[in-house]
Structure 1
Amino acid sequence: MHDVIVVGGAYAGMAAALQLLRARRRVLVIDAGLRRNRFSRASHGLLGQDGVDPAELARTARRQLEAYPTLQWIEGEAQSAAGARDDFTVSTAAGALHRGRRLLLALGVSDELPAIEGLAERWGRSVFHCPYCDGYELDRGRIGVIATGPMSVHQALMATEWGAVTLFTHASFVPDTATRAELAAHAIALEETPLARLEGHADVVLADGRRLAFAGLFTAPRNRPASKLAECLGCALEETPFGTQIGTNEAKETSIPGAFACGDAARVPHSLTLAIADGAWAGMQLHRSLVF
């Protein structure tokens, strides 16, 4: 019987595990190895680690966790979860069954990218979602924002801090008169011709054959937890402007007593810094729930 089973060994899950291990609790981490930022070459905006390869960040963090004797780490996929406070069970794809007094879902999210040829191959390399994470490196160059709905207007307005912006509606919405005026007031070019594909570094080829080159592109994909484990357990889900997430209270506990959630699957907005902070807070709250 583990004190806590953490499903998801990326940054939020490891940040939570660290707090618990330092409280000398028995922690099992089950990790499928699919970090959301696995496509990125560098991580930006993380104090003290700006520009470091995110894979190296993950390796270093895991080595530090493994120095604690009460950690068990399993590389594999958690397929189902059941139980209640003080007696949860998690089964893995390998057929093993694990028990824990508490459960932490640090599942991460899957990004539902726009169905544009060439976009997925450039995701995390020249197509991004967070200007705070990747805008600076575009060096004030031309920026394209590929809309996924009306909320993309906000993303385009934000992106003007990092360069000259073109907003591609890509048939996701039709801007009204007030929106057009707001875009024009911020010198944002509006392009309503659908995209055909992406080529080169960040070249947009439109349906009419025109080609526009950019330093980088942004889009706002809808997100959902990367695993159905929360649904399997019966946790309440919430809809946000960014997609579906696991509902939690201020202590990061889900609607199932004793089951907690943290990281991108349980908060918005998303960034590496915020995921680590959310995980650290969840770890402390988990420990408190074991004490009191």
Structure 2
Amino acid sequence: MHIPHPTTEFDVIVIGGSYAGLSAAMQLARARRRVLVIDAGQRRNRYAQHSHGFLGQDGREAAAIAADGRAQLMKYPTVRWIEGSATQAAQAAQGFLVTLGDGRVFSASRLLLATGVVDELPPIAGLAERWGSSAFHCPYCHGYELMEGAIGVLATGPLSIHHAMMLPDWGRVTFFLNGAFEPDEAQLTALKARGVAIERTLVRAIEGRAAVQLQDGRSLEMAGLFVLTRTHSGSRLAEQLGCEMEQGATGSHVRVDAMKASSVAGVFVCGDAARLFGNVALAVADGAMAGAATHQSLIFGLAAAA
């Protein structure tokens, strides 16, 4: 396949301009490295109005935190930002080539992926429309704001019991099994000890703010709902490059070491794309580590970052 000649050369191309990518690019910018950020504008928490649990930013609009981060990053003169999708990435003699959807090609010595994940919701009518407003996946991010009200946990499989056991610290929990699995005796005993009500009738739809409509005609009003989603990568670039993947309980993610280096020399991965569990604070921390490690690999060589 013919690859067009790259139009620009950078020290690092960061793919993904959400919290992890911003944090990584900041470290590199402060090291006066030439950085290109390519961002398709698909933050995982774009459906949530506010972000919680992030020190110094608790309760702020999620979009505002990201916008402020971008504005601060772009004050550094060695950073360029492109709004668009990176569709291809390949190794080249001096590093990597990245192709955008419009055909432009850029090159860099290192590649840093912060491409995130996509949540896969169970096919319950009305659930997707409430995702991020009254239906969530992270109790630490959204549980407190439910003010100890009625909380529904929509089971998607055996791991949903983790949600059901945790959430009584935030409110009165009803565990809607919805045919996804049946707890064993030990699990039922543990759920009862936590005060969790079990509902086995199938869920028909979600209406109103978070009212669970059951197949038998009942409607149970909830202050909020929690769902353990399955996830898949927000991009195919890691697979294109041959990065090793790790299968987790809710989906796959890129395998990285403690310095966020992937199995492919020169490719670093941070944020939800390389984690089992993520939130804004963890994404920022991941990005800081990945950015620093990528910078050091440019100085000391790739063996130092492995």
Classify the TM-score, shorter chain. over 0.9
Give the superposition deviation at 1:187.
1.1
CA RMSD of aligned residues (A): 0.9
Indicate which of 146, 149, 152 corresponds to 2:154.
Answer: 146
Q: Which runs of 5+ in 1 are unaligned?
A: none
Indicate which of 226, 231, 240 corresponds to 2:234.
Answer: 226
Give the superposition deviation at 1:186.
1.2
Asked if 1:135 corresponds to 2:148, the answer is no
Q: Secondary structure at the match of 1:104?
A: strand
Asked if 1:58 corresponds to 2:66, the answer is yes
Partner of 2:35: 27
Distance in 1, matches of 2:263 and 2:127, equals 36
Q: Is the 8 A contact 1:140 1:163 kept in 2?
A: yes
Partner of 2:284: 276
Partner of 2:52: 44
Partner of 1:161: 169
Distance in 1, matches of 2:237 and 2:120, equals 18
Partner of 2:274: 266
Indicate which of 75, 79, 87 corresponds to 1:79.
Answer: 87
Distance in 2, matches of 1:194 and 1:238, equals 33
Give the superposition deviation at 1:194.
1.2
Give the superposition deviation at 1:268.
2.4
Asked if 1:290 corresponds to 2:298, the answer is yes
Q: Is the 8 A contact 1:84 1:257 kept in 2?
A: no
Distance in 1, matches of 2:244 and 2:39, equals 23
| Partner amino acid, structure 1, of 2:27 | Q
Partner of 1:202: 210
| Partner amino acid, structure 2, of 1:27 | V
Distance in 2, matches of 1:19 and 1:135, equals 32
Q: How does 1:45-124 map to 2 (within 5 A)?
A: 45-83=53-91, 86-124=94-132
Asked if 1:237 corresponds to 2:255, the answer is no
| Partner amino acid, structure 2, of 1:189 | A
Partner of 2:6: none
Q: List structure 1 runs of 4+ shifted beyond 4 angstroms.
A: none
Q: Deviations over 1:91-145 (max 9, x none)?
A: 0001000100000110011001111000000001000001100000000001000
Q: Secondary structure at the match of 1:115?
A: coil
Partner of 1:247: 255
Asked if 1:191 corresponds to 2:196, the answer is no
Give the superposition deviation at 1:85.
7.9
Q: Secondary structure at the match of 1:17?
A: helix
TM-score by length of 2: 0.94
Asked if 1:8 corresponds to 2:11, the answer is no
Distance in 2, matches of 1:172 and 1:90, equals 41
Q: Label 1:178 to 1:256 Cα distance change in 2 as closer, same or farther (>3 A).
A: same
Give the superposition deviation at 1:242.
2.4
Give the superposition deviation at 1:39.
0.8
Give the superposition deviation at 1:291.
0.8
Q: Deviations over 1:8-66 (max 9, x none)?
A: 00000000000000000000000000111111111001111111111111111111111
Distance in 2, matches of 1:44 and 1:275, equals 13
Q: Which runs of 5+ in 2 are unaligned?
A: 1-8, 301-306
Distance in 2, matches of 1:86 and 1:275, equals 29
Q: Is the 8 A contact 1:85 1:258 kept in 2?
A: no
Q: Secondary structure at the match of 1:103?
A: strand
Give the superposition deviation at 1:250.
1.1
Distance in 2, matches of 1:85 and 1:181, equals 60
Distance in 2, matches of 1:178 and 1:46, equals 35
